[in-house]
Amino acid sequence: MFKDLGKFIFMIELGFKYIKVFKQSYFHPFITQKYAYQELSRARQSYSNKVLDFLNIKVKIVGELPKKDKILYAINHRSLLDILVMENVFSRYNKNGTWIAKQELFDDPIYGKFFQYSGCISVDLENKRGLIKFFKTIKKTFSKVDDMNLYIFPEGERFGGEGLQKFQSGAQKIAKANNLDIVPVYINDKLEKVFKNAPYKEPYTVEVNIGDIISHKNLEEKYLEFYKSVKEREKK
């Protein structure tokens, strides 16, 4: 109980400190949107790395992120740790980007401001006007930030079962509308259990698999092929 309480207190207290850091870029009247996203990306990565260090979790990368930008990273989703683990990966490649998140996360009384001021982009899937505004925001952002990348969970929500949930259509539509290549990413661990057992006395290593660039066409089918290749490699 105290172990669980301690990590939540650490993450929340640190989160509030970083909200103040985010606001310096989010509300800055004179910096460009490109520079703001670069600063917000670095701050999110710094926060994530500090939490992972506290939890004693290390990240092993299998594969490589592409050097080019304007990529949509499609990532499987099991736990709140997914974002922290991926921010660690992006920090090692000095990537600038942001997360697509449901509006309900922005409305949360505890960490809603963290999502808002860290530069994440909200989407309300139940609101037609909201969807139109969302796609306009994405397009406008890419017109001003040439080194931008987007991070999304195509399953739409956390999944605790084996394998993958059926993908929602959002990732494919975003990639098509903005002419983005897609990189499939598979976090090869059940991070809900990893987080539950953290912090660790000995370092715990999470494996992140990076696939090759794919187009938006048949995203789910191509992601499944990548997923199966990861599982086949495990057996060897």
The string of pLDDT tens digits covering residues 122-172 is 887 677 787 888 899 999 999 999 999 999 999 877 666 676 788 888 899
Q: Predicted confidence band at 12 (pLDDT cuts at 50, 70, 90)? A: very high
| CA 218 vs CA 51, 158, 171: distances in Å | 36, 22, 11
pLDDT of 64 over the 60 cut = yes
Helix (H, G, I), strand (E, B) or coil at 222: helix
Q: Is the peptide bond before 199 cis (omega within 30 degrees of 0)?
A: yes
- Burial of 146 per CB tally in 10 Å (0-12, 13-18, 19+): exposed
pLDDT of 213 over the 90 cut = yes
Query: Across residues 52-70, what is the average pLDDT?
Result: 97
Report the alpha-carbon distance of residue 102 to residue 5 in Å, rounded: 26
* Summary mean pLDDT of the chain: 91
179: left (phi over 0), alpha (psi -120 to 50) or beta: left
Query: Across residues 10-16, what is the average pLDDT?
Result: 95
The DSSP 8-state label assigned to residue 93 in this structure reads T
> How many C-beta atoms surround the C-beta of residue 144 within 10 A?
12
Pairing of strands 181-187, 204-210: antiparallel
| CA 1 vs CA 5, 6, 66, 198: distances in Å | 6, 9, 42, 12
pTM as predicted: 0.93
Could you name the CATH architecture of 2-235? 3-Layer(aba) Sandwich (3.40)
- Burial of 157 per CB tally in 10 Å (0-12, 13-18, 19+): exposed
Res 32: pLDDT: 94
Report the alpha-carbon distance of residue 181 to residue 73 in Å, rounded: 9
Tell me the per-residue pLDDT of 31-60, one tens digit each, with 9 for 90 and over.
999 999 999 999 999 999 999 999 999 999
